[in-house]
C-alpha cells in the first residue's frame, strides 16, 4: 500500500509564474528611493575573537606589506597633516641634526611595528601637539602677529557685564587655593591618560583611538589659534594693566604661585614663567580638555554624567579663580571640544552597549550615529520600505569610516527583536520579519531568502518571481 501513496496523494497546485522575467538591466539600487546619505551604514563584522584583540607582532615588514596594498582614502590626509606639523616643529627647533634624525627614526619604528603601531598611530596627533606646543617658543618675533591686550577684557564686559575672572580671583584663601589646584594643576595633566585607560578597558573597542585623535587635533588647532591670535590672560591685566605686550616677556603662574608657597616647592613657578605661549589665552585648553573628556565619558558611562558636568564647572571656576583665563576663553575652548566630539561621534565613535562591562565582552562593534531611513524618519505605513533592499558589499569597510546597519543595531538601541520596534509599529524591522512578508511581498524562494541568509538575493535569483495561489 505504501507503494501507491505517492500516486493516490492529491497533486500539489503548481505555482504560476509571471509571463515575464526580471529585467536584466534593472539594478537593485534603482529600487531604493532613499538617498545614499540617509541609508543605514554597516556594522563592523569583526567576531568576538578579534573585535577586542591586540596585535603582538614586532614584524616591520607586516606593516610595510599592509601599506603597499592599502586603498588610500581622503581621511588619510590626517597623517600628512601630522607629518607637516612634526617637520615644521623640528625645523624651528635649535640645530641638532643627530637628535632630530633619531627622533624621526624612532617615530618611524614605533609606527611600523604592529605591537606599538596600534597605540602610537592613534595617539600621533597628541605627540604632534606636544612637540608643536613646546617648539612654538622658537618662532622668531618678526614672524609673529600683534599681541591683543584689550580684546578679551572688552569681550568679557560686553558678554557678561563684568570681568568674571577678576571678580572670582579678588579674594583668595588657602582652602580655595587647594580646591582650585586639584583640577587645574593635577587633573588637567593627568586626566587625558586616565580617561584613555578607562575607555580602553571598559568602553567599546576602538573608542580610545577616536578619543586620542579628537583630543590631539583639537589641541593642535587651539595652539594654532593662539599663535595667530595671541591675547593676554587676566594675570597680565592685573600686573601690567592694559599696557602693550611684547614677545620676550615672561609668563606668570598667577594663583599657582600660592600653591608653590604653600607646599614649599617649585612645581609651577618656573614652568609657567618660561611657558612657550604666555599669551595663549584664547581658547583655553583647560576648558576644552575638560569638556571633551566629559563628553566622551558621559557617552560611555551615562550614570556618572552629573559628576562629569560638575567637574567641568569645577575646573572652569578654578581656571578663573587662579587668574589664568577669562570666561570667554573657556567658552571658546568648550565650543571647540563640543565640535570635535560631535564630529567624532557621528562619523567614527563606537556605540556603547551598556550591558557590557569591559571591552572583551563585545561581540561586535558599531560605529557612528545611525542615520534614519525615510520609513523610520516619517513613520508612515504607506512608505515603501525599500531601504531594506539596499545591497551592501564588503568593499565599503574602512577602519575610519565603518558605519552600521545590521539587525544588531536595533538590539544595541533597545528595540524589539521581532516584527517591528515599539517606536515605529508600522515599520517592519530588518531582523526577523514574519513569513507573510517574506514570501508574499518579496516573493522569494528559500534559496533567495535575504533574511536567513544575511544577504540580498542575487539578481539572477529574482528572475523567477512567483505568485502564490
65-118 tens-digit pLDDT: 888 888 888 888 999 999 999 999 999 998 888 889 998 999 999 999 999 998
When the pLDDT of each residue in the chain is averaged and rounded to a whole number, the result is 77
Q: What are phi and psi of 48, to 5 degrees?
A: -65, -30
DSSP 399-410: TTT----STHHH
Lowest mean pLDDT among 197-211, 291-305, 364-378: 364-378
pTM of the predicted protein model: 0.70
Return the C-alpha cell found at 176.
580655595
CB neighbours of 21 closer than 8 A, spacing ≥ 6? 463, 464
Query: Which conformational region is residue 465 in: left (phi greater than 0), alpha (psi within -120 to 50 degrees), or beta?
Result: beta
Return the C-alpha cell found at 98.
643627530
The pLDDT value recorded for residue 427 is 37
Residue 7 binned pLDDT confidence (cut-offs 50, 70, 90): low
Burial of 445 (0-12, 13-18, 19+ CB in 10 A): middle
The pLDDT value recorded for residue 384 is 35
User: Nearest 10 degrees: CA dihedral of 361, 362, 368, 372?
Assistant: -110
372-424 tens-digit pLDDT: 443 444 444 333 333 333 333 333 444 433 333 333 343 444 443 333 333 34
Query: Which conformational region is residue 65 in: left (phi greater than 0), alpha (psi within -120 to 50 degrees), or beta?
Result: alpha
Place of cell 618611524: 108
Q: What are phi and psi of 203, to 5 degrees?
A: -105, 180
The pLDDT value recorded for residue 2 is 52
Residue 34 binned pLDDT confidence (cut-offs 50, 70, 90): low
128-156 tens-digit pLDDT: 999 999 999 999 999 999 999 999 999 98
39-49 tens-digit pLDDT: 444 444 444 45
The pLDDT value recorded for residue 71 is 87
Residues in the chain: 469
Start-to-end C-alpha separation, the chain: 31
The pLDDT value recorded for residue 152 is 93
279-315 tens-digit pLDDT: 999 999 999 999 999 999 999 999 999 999 999 999 9
CB neighbours of 117 closer than 8 A, spacing ≥ 6? 55, 63, 110, 111
Residue 326 has pLDDT above 60, yes or no: yes
Q: Quick check: 111 and 121 in contact, CB under 8 A?
A: yes
Return the C-alpha cell found at 422.
515599539
3-state DSSP assignment of residue 367: strand
Return the C-alpha cell found at 417.
527583536
Amino acid at each position: 500500500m505504501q507503494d501507491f501513496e505517492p500516486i493516490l496523494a492529491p497533486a500539489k497546485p503548481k505555482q504560476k509564474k509571471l509571463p515575464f522575467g526580471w529585467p536584466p538591466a534593472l539594478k537593485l539600487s534603482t529600487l531604493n528611493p532613499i538617498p545614499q546619505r540617509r541609508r543605514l551604514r554597516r556594522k563592523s563584522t569583526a567576531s568576538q575573537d578579534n573585535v577586542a584583540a591586540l596585535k603582538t607582532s614586532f614584524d616591520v615588514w607586516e606593516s610595510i606589506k599592509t601599506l603597499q596594498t592599502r586603498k588610500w582614502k581622503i581621511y588619510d590626509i590626517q597623517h600628512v597633516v601630522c607629518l607637516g606639523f612634526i617637520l615644521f616643529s623640528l625645523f624651528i627647533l635649535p640645530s641638532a641634526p643627530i637628535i632630530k634624525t633619531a627622533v624621526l627614526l624612532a617615530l618611524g619604528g614605533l609606527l611600523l611595528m604592529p605591537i606599538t603601531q596600534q597605540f602610537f598611530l592613534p595617539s600621533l596627533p597628541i605627540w604632534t601637539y606636544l612637540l608643536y606646543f613646546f617648539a612654538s617658543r622658537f618662532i622668531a618675533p618678526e614672524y609673529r602677529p600683534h599681541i591683543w591686550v584689550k580684546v578679551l577684557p572688552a569681550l568679557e564686559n560686553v558678554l557678561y557685564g563684568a570681568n568674571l575672572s577678576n571678580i572670582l580671583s579678588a579674594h583668595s584663601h588657602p582652602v580655595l587655593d587647594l580646591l582650585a589646584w586639584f583640577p587645574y594643576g593635577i587633573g588637567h595633566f593627568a586626566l587625558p591618560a586616565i580617561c584613555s585607560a578607562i575607555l580602553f578597558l571598559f568602553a567599546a573597542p576602538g573608542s580610545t583611538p577616536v578619543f586620542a585623535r579628537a583630543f590631539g587635533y583639537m589641541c593642535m588647532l587651539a595652539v594654532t589659534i593662539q599663535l595667530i591670535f595671541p591675547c593676554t590672560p587676566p594675570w597680565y591685566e592685573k600686573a601690567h594693566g592694559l599696557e602693550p605686550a611684547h614677545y620676550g616677556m615672561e609668563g606668570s603662574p598667577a594663583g599657582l604661585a600660592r600653591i608653590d608657597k604653600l607646599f614649599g616647592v617649585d612645581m609651577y613657578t618656573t614652568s609657567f614663567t618660561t611657558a612657550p605661549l604666555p599669551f595663549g589665552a584664547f581658547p583655553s585648553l583647560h576648558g576644552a580638555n575638560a569638556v571633551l573628556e566629559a563628553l566622551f565619558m558621559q557617552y560611555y558611562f551615562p550614570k556618572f554624567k552629573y559628576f562629569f558636568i560638575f567637574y567641568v564647572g569645577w575646573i572652569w571656576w578654578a581656571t578663573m579663580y587662579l587668574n589664568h583665563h577669562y570666561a570667554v576663553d573657556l567658552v571658546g575652548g568648550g565650543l571647540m571640544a563640543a565640535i570635535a566630539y560631535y564630529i567624532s561621534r557621528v562619523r567614527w565613535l563606537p556605540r556603547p552597549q551598556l550591558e557590557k562591562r569591559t571591552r572583551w565582552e563585545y561581540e561586535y562593534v558599531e560605529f557612528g550615529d545611525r542615520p534614519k531611513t525615510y520609513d523610520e524618519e516619517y513613520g508612515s505605513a504607506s512608505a515603501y520600505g525599500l531601504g531594506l533592499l539596499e545591497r551592501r558589499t564588503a568593499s565599503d569597510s574602512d577602519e575610519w569610516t565603518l558605519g552600521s546597519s545590521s539587525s544588531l543595531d536595533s538590539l544595541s538601541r533597545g528595540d524589539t527583536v521581532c516584527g517591528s520596534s515599539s517606536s515605529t509599529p508600522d515599520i517592519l524591522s530588518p531582523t526577523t520579519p514574519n513569513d507573510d512578508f517574506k514570501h508574499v511581498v518579496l516573493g522569494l524562494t528559500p534559496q533567495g531568502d535575504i533574511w536567513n541568509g544575511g544577504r540580498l538575493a542575487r539578481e539572477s535569483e529574482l528572475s523567477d518571481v512567483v505568485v502564490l495561489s
